[in-house]
């Protein structure tokens, strides 16, 4: 498993470029829709409801909400990108192309994950900009980034993990319906209950204990620490959990790539 | 890789889907530089065999070797020398012809492949359509795009699974010309088609499979000779009284029509008839066709 051709970066970059071109070609769906979504969340939760919510940590609710929304957009879009790319490729028969060319499993997994991450980062950044605009309008000042490297770490680890979750689900799925079921019924609740909209400190102890098992809690709090410098959970622990989540997703995605069929739907 | 290394060897290949066995222990070799026809009626198992070669399916038993390498053991190598044209059209959503080919080149590790791509597109008459997406192409163009994709990396072994399905006559001819041109460039070609007349002209050797079993394999003309009966028409100067002969098919005014098995020489027939050579005006001999041979094999027990 280590010939020259295998180490070549050309197949990897080609597939990565394809992934990026794919979501740019449908920018209306992939970039504009998330922009509108985050604006609505910010308007409804951050601005209207936020005035009635006070937080333990003393930051304004809008400031608390923005990092959560940034991460939620990033994760959701990373997932959507890789899952719909593989789902679409299965539907079109294009996935067979991946199988009959010398692309390796590693090249497929990582090129598709980085493609998902790229879209996640772009949408996350757009969400951040929209958040900034709302923050400026309501607070008369900009919201800074406290720890840019920590922010980047959590965005990248989380984005890759979710892109790989998307791959895993799409390799496993036999129909588009199965894909959307996972997206709708599993992913969204996890995202919502991962501490995007509220601090788990404010929860009933039962829910607070349960929330500890949601890996998204750590990813989202990591990003919140990166931007605001505050977190509901210890940062080091959050970093470890995030890396473990990535490792788990990677192993599962690779496994499903190996066992599942490349043939068309 | 030596020059006489077989580009493709199928050894005792079996393929089951669930409890249904689609390929039942098929073995054959494809020789370097030849055009090899894999023929058989619908559902015979042709696509299943090709799918194993390109690793889309795993064999249930047996092996497929490409230039001596087992496709299951060393797939990165075998995939890099195979060009594969699938039977089914592949869609590519948002991408146009040019983008698809450049991605495809990249998957094979080729970064700057402009010249090769242009040559292929020109040769397959797709150049003026290079900015179109797959759904904007006609059926025949889509099929040519599949062929274009299979050629970007200069494969040594080209597998064409019904490359001319849905292609009009004129284009079919030009496609076959192209296949012959590729052969001259040293590419070994395995193809499947239901156009037996075209296969007869094109293929150096053919294999006929039926219900997952290999029924025969060999040189196209040798097979035809072996499996079909020659039609021999003796044209006479004058009318003859009705004659009797076991091989006689029809007697017309000036003509006697016979069907001759491969084992019998025309001279033998003439001797048996005991005709005066002076009355024989002409002798018309036509070989059977691949289609006859095919019918003879596929029709016998089904
Ligand atoms: N994925 C599959 N699952 C179940 N059965 C299959 C599958 N693919 C093929 N078969 C069956 O295997 C047999 C051989 O199919 P195959 O596609 O190899 O035939 P073929 O020779 O290519 O036919 P055609 O000329 O129609 O393309 C058929 O009976 C078909 O129904
Ligand atoms: Mg077929």
User: What ipTM did this prediction achieve?
Assistant: 0.87
Per-residue pLDDT at A54: 64
| Ranges of chain B whose pLDDT falls below 70 | 1-3, 300-302
Please name the residue whose Cα sits nearest to atom 26 of ligand 1.
Answer: B42
Domain positions in chain A are 11-259
Q: Specify the DSSP element, H or E, that contains B297.
A: helix B290-300
Give the residue whose CA is nearest to atom 5 of ligand 1: B17
Q: Judge if B219 and B234 occupy the same domain.
A: no
- Please count the CA atoms within 13 angstroms of the CA of A123 that sit on its side-chain side: 35
- Mean pLDDT within A4-17: 81
Find, among B124, B225, B146, the residue nearest to B191 by Cα. Answer: B146
pLDDT, tens only, A153-192: 999 999 999 999 999 999 998 888 888 888 778 887 787 7
Neighbouring C-alpha atoms within 13 Å toward the C-beta of B143: 16
Are B86 and A93 a contacting pair at CB < 8 A? Answer: yes
Instruction: State the Cα–Cα distance between residues B126 and B141, nearest whole angstrom.
Output: 7
Please judge whether A26 and B110 are an interchain contact, meaning their C-beta atoms are less than 8 angstroms apart.
Answer: no
- The H-assigned helical ranges of chain A are 4-7, 10-25, 27, 33-41, 61-92, 95-100, 105-139, 148-172, 176-181, 188-191, 205-211, 215-228, 235-259
Q: Are residues B149 and B179 in the same domain?
A: yes
Main-chain dihedrals φ then ψ at residue A200, nearest 5 degrees: -70, -15
Give me the CATH number covering residue B197: 3.40.50.300
Question: CA of B63 to nearest chain A CA: how many angstroms apart?
Answer: 17
Give chain B's domain count. 2
DSSP H helical ranges for A201-234: 205-211, 215-228
Residue A3 pLDDT > 60: no
Chain A interface test: which of B109, B145, B152 (most A C-beta within 10 Å):
B109
| Rg, chain B, Cα only | 24
Asked if B181 and B251 sit in the same domain, the reply is: no
Which residue among B43, B89, B191, B213 has the greatest number of ligand 1 atoms within 8 angstroms of its CB, and so is best to mutate? B43
Residue B219 lies in a domain: yes
**Residue B145 vs residues B54, B89, B114, B141, B185: alpha-carbon distances, Å:** 19, 9, 16, 6, 20
Residue B255: give the domain boundaries: 229-286
Same domain, B151 and B186: yes
Q: Which residues line ligand 1 (CB under 6 A)?
A: B 17, 20, 22, 40, 42-48, 87
Q: Cα distance from B129 to chain A (closest Cα, Å)?
A: 19
Q: How far is A80 from chain B (nearest CA, A)?
A: 17
- CB distance B82–A100 less than 8 Å? yes
Q: What pLDDT score does A28 carry?
A: 85
- At A7, is the pLDDT very low, low, confident or very high (cuts 50, 70, 90)? low
Q: What is the pTM of this model?
A: 0.88
Rounded distance between C-alpha atoms, residue A226 and residue A150, angstroms = 5
Distance between CA atoms of B287 and B264, rounded to whole angstroms?
13
Phi-psi region of B283 (alpha: psi -120 to 50; beta: other; left: phi over 0): beta
pLDDT of residue A51: 67
Query: Is residue B126 domain-shared with residue B258, that is, in the same domain?
Result: no
CA–CA dist B199, B194 (Å, integer)? 8
Based on the fold, state whether residues B259 and B210 are members of the same structural domain: no
Q: Are both B175 and B279 inside the same structural domain? A: no
Nearest-10 Cα torsion for A43, A44, A49, A50: -40
In this structure, which residue's CA is closest to atom 11 in ligand 1? B22
Q: Same domain, yes or no, for B237 and B209?
A: no
Task: Give pLDDT, residue A183.
Answer: 76
């Amino acid at each position: 498993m280590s010939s020259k051709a295998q180490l070549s970066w050309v197949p990897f970059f080609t597939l990565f470029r394809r992934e990026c071109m794919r979501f740019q070609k449908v920018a209306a769906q992939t970039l504009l829709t998330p922009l509108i979504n985050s604006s609505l969340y910010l308007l409804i939760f951050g601005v209207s409801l936020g005035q009635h919510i006070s937080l333990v940590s003393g930051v304004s609710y809008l400031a608390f909400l923005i990092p959560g929304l940034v991460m939620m957009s990033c994760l959701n879009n990373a997932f959507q990108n890789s899952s719909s790319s593989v789902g679409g490729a299965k539907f079109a028969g294009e996935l067979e192309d991946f199988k009959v060319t010398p692309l390796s499993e590693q090249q497929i997994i990582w090129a598709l994950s980085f493609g998902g991450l790229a879209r996640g980062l772009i949408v996350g950044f757009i969400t951040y900009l929209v958040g900034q605009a709302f923050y400026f309008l309501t607070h008369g000042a900009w919201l800074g980034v406290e720890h840019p490297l920590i922010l980047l770490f959590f965005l990248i680890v989380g984005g890759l993990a979710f892109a790989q979750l998307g791959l895993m689900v799409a390799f496993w799925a036999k129909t588009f319906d199965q894909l959307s079921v996972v997206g709708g019924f599993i992913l969204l609740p996890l995202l919502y209950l991962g501490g995007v909209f509220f601090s788990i400190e404010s929860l009933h102890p039962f829910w607070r204990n349960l929330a500890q098992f949601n890996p998204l809690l750590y990813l989202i709090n990591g990003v919140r620490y990166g931007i605001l410098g505050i977190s509901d959970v210890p940062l080091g622990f959050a970093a470890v959990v995030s890396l473990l989540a990535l490792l788990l997703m990677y192993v599962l995605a690779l496994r499903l790539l190996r066992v599942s069929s490349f043939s068309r739907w | 890789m030596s020059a006489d290394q077989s580009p493709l060897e199928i050894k005792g290949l079996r393929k089951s889907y669930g409890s249904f066995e689609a390929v039942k222990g098929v073995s054959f070799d494809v020789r370097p530089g030849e055009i090899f026809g894999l023929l058989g009626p619908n559902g015979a198992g042709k696509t299943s065999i090709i799918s194993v070669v390109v690793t889309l399916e795993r064999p249930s038993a047996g092996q497929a070797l490409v230039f001596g390498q087992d496709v299951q053991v060393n797939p990165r190598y075998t995939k890099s020398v195979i060009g594969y044209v699938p039977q089914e059209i592949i869609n590519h959503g948002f991408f146009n012809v040019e983008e698809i080919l450049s991605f495809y080149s990249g998957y094979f590790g080729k970064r700057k492949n402009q010249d090769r791509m242009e040559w292929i597109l020109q040769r397959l008459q797709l150049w003026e359509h290079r900015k179109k997406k797959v759904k904007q192409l006609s059926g025949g163009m889509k099929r040519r795009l599949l062929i274009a994709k299979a050629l970007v990396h200069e494969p040594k072994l080209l597998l064409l699974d019904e490359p001319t399905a849905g292609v009009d006559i004129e284009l079919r001819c030009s496609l076959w010309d192209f296949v012959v041109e590729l052969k001259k460039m040293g590419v070994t070609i395995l193809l499947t088609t239901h156009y037996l007349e075209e296969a007869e002209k094109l293929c150096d050797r053919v294999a006929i499979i039926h219900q997952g079993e290999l029924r025969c394999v060999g040189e196209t003309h040798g097979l035809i000779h072996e499996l079909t009966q020659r039609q021999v028409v003796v044209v006479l100067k004058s009318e003859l009284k009705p004659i009797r002969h076991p091989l006689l098919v029809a007697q017309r005014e000036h003509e006697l029509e016979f069907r001759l098995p491969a084992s019998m020489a025309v001279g033998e027939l003439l001797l048996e008839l005991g005709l005066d050579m002076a009355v024989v005006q002409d002798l018309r001999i036509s070989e059977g066709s691949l289609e006859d041979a095919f019918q003879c094999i596929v029709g016998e027990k089904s």
